[in-house]
Structure 1
């Protein structure tokens, strides 16, 4: 017998604030670790994480710090388009990603990492981090926020929308990365977006 999938009109119990905070914190930890792995392997990925990584090769700042700085213009946009609760949760998520990204090197040191592993695992856990945050009523800013708004308003698949934007972001990294690193960066973006394409489709559970 197939499992019963509750409809959006069922009497589902909304997530509590504590549940939202817990899930968003885990998602932020995944994103911060994924960025750290990709940076260690000299790779780029899609989304705002990819832009932050790309800028970190020109500016001697942490990708985590760059991540929140380039997201500042999107906080007000997120709040206006998706509501103040979404905007505040998105701000909290970005601050948490920055804090975790800045403190993680003191908690763990990576002496050696396979670039292929970094691309697949790093991209995948960033995708799961974005998924956890999105399912609890927040975004990670930038491309992710735009993708979620288009999914909510027009039913566009968030993963596919983000993948189109990622192609443009990765194209900008081509002059910076070697061809092998560029190919692995494409793989990391594909791994990240595959998580969203499979798990964040319109009509499926997207959080309460």
Structure 2
């Protein structure tokens, strides 16, 4: 008999996250993502997706980020229910609410005296990407283009990170209307970094937790 080596067989019931793991994961992911967006806001930089649109509109209108982020993402809940089901939609709505809430917490308790904009832009996008990855792996998203990207990935196998990168670059280019071009260049580099985190770490079938 030929030994073909150990075979890995995973039981869905034993590999799915527990409720406690999902709660802690969502809290960790949304806190991390919101802190990244806080750094971007402080650097007067943007990123892609509805988060980037929220930052962009905030710079132009002075409306608080947390308000814009919540309002812009609400219409995408319809797509989430239709394509991803109520479980995913509810997790996403909770994640959006947590990001908005944590944004207020950061603004209240973390006062930045001086922040290098290059560091803030790159670190902010990296933190946002890591946070978004955690939220994805616990069955939710941060709404908006994230929902579209996951729907495309489920339907075609085209990685969510690449889809987000396309949308995000369009949003970053729109920033030319609001912020100086050096900030836009930094924002574009940051958006690529964020989506590389997702493209390289969130592949269909690779992560067994969900």
Aligned residue number for residue 106 of structure 2: 104
Q: Against the structure 1 CA distance between its residues 5 and 68, is the aligned structure 2 distance closer, same or farther, given a 3 Å change threshold?
A: farther
Encode CA deviations 1:52-72: one digit per residue, 9 max, x unaligned. 100101222221221111000
Encode CA deviations 1:134-174: one digit per residue, 9 max, x unaligned. 00110111101110111112111110010011111111111
Alpha carbons 2:41, 2:55 under 8 Å: kept: yes
2:172 to 170, 173, 198: 170
Aligned residue number for residue 11 of structure 1: 11
2:73 to 71, 74, 99: 71
Residue 152 of structure 1 aligns to a residue in which SS?
Answer: helix
Encode CA deviations 1:42-97: one digit per residue, 9 max, x unaligned. 10111111111001012222212211110000112212211110000001001111
Alpha carbons 2:88, 2:140 under 8 Å: kept: yes
Alpha carbons 2:165, 2:192 under 8 Å: kept: yes
Q: CA RMSD in A?
A: 1.5
Encode CA deviations 1:9-62: one digit per residue, 9 max, x unaligned. x21421112211110111111111111111111101111111110010122222
Mapped partners of 1:204, 1:69: distance in 2: 33
Shift of 1:206: 6.2
Aligned residue number for residue 87 of structure 1: 89
Aligned residue number for residue 51 of structure 1: 53
Structure 1 length-normalised TM? 0.93
Structure 2 length-normalised TM? 0.92
Aligned residue number for residue 190 of structure 1: 192
Residue segments in structure 1 that go unaligned for 5+ positions in a row:
none
